[in-house]
Each structure stands twice: as C-alpha cells, then as structure tokens.
C-alpha cells in the first residue's frame, strides 16, 4: 500500500466538501491561561457522527466500484469508524455490516444502527471483532474495509490537517490522538507539507500502547490487552500503513494515563463547554503534561470526537 500524498488529501477535501462542513477551530482564554500557551481546539465532535472518521468513510465509500457497492461492505469498529462507514454507505446506497466487540459503547452502536447498517456483535475487544469481519468478507464476499490500512481513509481524515492550516496558518504544533493512527498520520502529512516546521505530536493511551511501540521499534507491535476508557484508542494490534506514516511524519509521541484522559474530559467541559470522549481528550491531556515544553507556541489540539456515554462522563466528573 502506498502512502497517501498531499494531492490525495486535496482531492479528498474536494470529494467530501458537499457532505461535510468545515469544523470549527476555536481558542479559549481560560484554557490558554491554564496551559501557558495558545491552544486552538479543532472541533471534530461537531461532525454529523460526532467524530472525525466520517471524513475517511465518505472519501472511501464514494470511490468504490459498482461491483464493490453491489457486494456490500464489512468492517470492524469500537464505534466511530463504524458510524463513519454506516453513514457513508447510506449516502451511496451500499449495504454495510459492522462488527463490534461485545459490550461496545451502546450509544455508538445505536448510532451505527440508525444509519441502516447491520450490527454483528462478537469478540471481547476490537481485535477479535476485526478477525470476525475478515472472516465474513471471505465467507460472504463483502468488500472488507480495514479501519487502518486503507489509503483513502487516511487521505479523507487528513483533511483535518489541511483545514487547520487554512484556518490558522500561525499554528506551529499539532497534537493528535492515535488509535489506529489514520487521523494522526493523515493530519501529519497535510500540516507538514504545508509547513515542514510544524511540530507533529502523537498521543496514545498508556494502557493501549501498540502503535507507540511500533513508532519506537519500526515493527508491527501488539499488546495482550487495551484496557482504556478511551475506546477510540483501544487498539491491541498496530496497523502497517498508518504506523509507517507516523514513523515518517511524527516528531514526538507520548502516552497519557487513564486519570489524565479523564482530566482532559473535565477540562473541556470546564473551559470550552464542549464534550469530548476519551480519545478526543487525549491531546489536551498531553498538552497539559507537556505545557513547559510547549510554552509560547500556537498549538492545535485535535478533539477527535465527543461520543462519550453518560455513564463514562459521570465517572470522569466523579474522579475530580
């Protein structure tokens, strides 16, 4: 698989523009005072699905061949990717089958189903759901959509970085969360092509560090578990394509704890009056941890999604 290029991201922006508005990039004075630098929040929680992945879903599904569309698609997800493929499939009249692990975020599962996709619940976590999706693709002939190793997904979500630089050219640092690594990888290609001096920082949950380990080693790493409240970061097995992109384009990679993630959720509510899920709060958690290093910089924080359950939000608020 070839890395998507900056031209691919430009083309993706043209393709998704009729379906998705540009998401806001806002700065908040009290958050800036807390951090000690100017932070710009990229509100991907304002997308129709409440998360960034819909950009990639529309870019990919819109490009399927007539034969692929007729066969239908299957993919695995903990929630946001599934919503993305479900909505895109609805837009382009494609039958979608979404494999989710047992006990997946019920709000995200309900949202997937609301777009007309079939839900197939199986496995203890994303990795087992992914293996089930691959089996169904072989057995039933569906077009399998990897949640990581798909250049058109990465080009689609890379439009986040393109928008950031168009909205605020003074940005000199971008912090993006990593689950599979598609969003961070695509964003890095876009921002560093526009301005190679921009510092690109990736952040993953300390309890699910497979992609972080791959970034360090250059090998495809996996972990035995991915026990994190941030279901969007709960990846046990790294993906080859986004991992190779991250190694080429990301300058720094950090991990955050579960308490730091929950603190990020609280801070977004307190200072920005906005709701972030765990993955969406990860860049703010990293920014707080790195505030001395980032002092004086103009930092974009990719708030990747806001699809947190009420129960998890309550836990975040109770642990203050």
Computed over every residue of the chain, the mean pLDDT equals 96
Residue 320 pLDDT class (50, 70, 90 cuts): low
The closest alpha carbon to 108, from 100, 116, 97, belongs to 100
What's the Cα-to-Cα distance from 64 to each of 60, 85, 87, rounded to whole Å? 7, 12, 15
Task: Please tell me the number of Cα atoms within 13 Å of 245 on its side-chain side.
Answer: 33
Residue-wise pLDDT for 272-317, tens only, equals: 999 999 999 999 999 999 999 999 999 999 999 999 999 999 999 9
The three-class DSSP label of residue 142 is coil
Residue 319 has pLDDT above 80, yes or no: no
Residue-wise pLDDT for 202-254, tens only, equals: 999 999 999 999 999 999 999 998 899 999 998 889 999 999 999 999 999 99
* Bridge pairing between strands 118-121 and 96-100: parallel
Residue 55: its pLDDT value, please? 98
Residue-wise pLDDT for 97-155, tens only, equals: 999 999 998 999 999 999 999 999 999 988 999 999 999 999 999 999 999 999 999 99
Residue 79: its pLDDT value, please? 87
Share of the chain above pLDDT 90, in %: 93
What's the CA angle centered on 183, arms 276 and 218, to 5 degrees? 125
């Amino acid at each position: 698989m070839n890395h998507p290029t900056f031209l691919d991201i430009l083309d993706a922006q043209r393709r998704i523009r009729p379906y998705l508005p540009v998401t806001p990039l806002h700065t908040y004075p009290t958050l800036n005072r807390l951090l000690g630098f100017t932070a710009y929040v990229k509100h991907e929680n304002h997308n129709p699905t409440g998360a960034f992945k819909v950009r990639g879903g529309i870019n990919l599904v819109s490009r399927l061949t007539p034969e692929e569309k007729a066969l239908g698609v299957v993919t695995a997800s903990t929630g946001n990717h599934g919503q993305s493929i479900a909505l895109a499939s609805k837009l382009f009249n494609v039958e979608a089958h979404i494999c989710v692990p047992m006990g997946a975020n019920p709000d995200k599962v309900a949202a997937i189903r609301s777009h007309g996709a079939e839900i197939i619940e199986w496995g203890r976590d994303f990795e087992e759901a992914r293996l089930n999706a691959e089996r169904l693709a072989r057995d039933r002939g569906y077009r399998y959509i990897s949640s990581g190793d798909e250049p058109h997904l990465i080009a689609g979500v890379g439009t986040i970085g393109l928008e950031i630089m168009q909205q605020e050219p003074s940005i000199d640092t971008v912090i993006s969360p990593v689950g599979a690594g598609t969003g961070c990888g695509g964003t890095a290609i876009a921002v560093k092509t526009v301005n190679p001096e921009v510092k690109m920082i990736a952040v993953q949950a300390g309890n699910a560090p497979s992609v972080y380990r791959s970034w360090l080693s250059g090998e495809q790493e996996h972990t035995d578990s991915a026990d994190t409240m941030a279901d969007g970061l709960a990846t046990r097995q790294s993906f080859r394509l986004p991992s190779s992109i991250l190694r080429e384009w990301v300058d720094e990679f950090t991990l955050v704890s579960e308490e730091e993630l929950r603190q990020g959720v609280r801070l977004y509510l307190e200072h920005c009056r906005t709701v972030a899920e765990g993955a969406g709060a990860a860049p703010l958690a990293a920014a707080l941890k790195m505030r001395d290093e980032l002092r004086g910089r103009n930092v974009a924080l990719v708030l990747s999604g806001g699809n947190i359950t009420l129960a998890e939000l309550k836990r975040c608020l109770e642990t203050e």
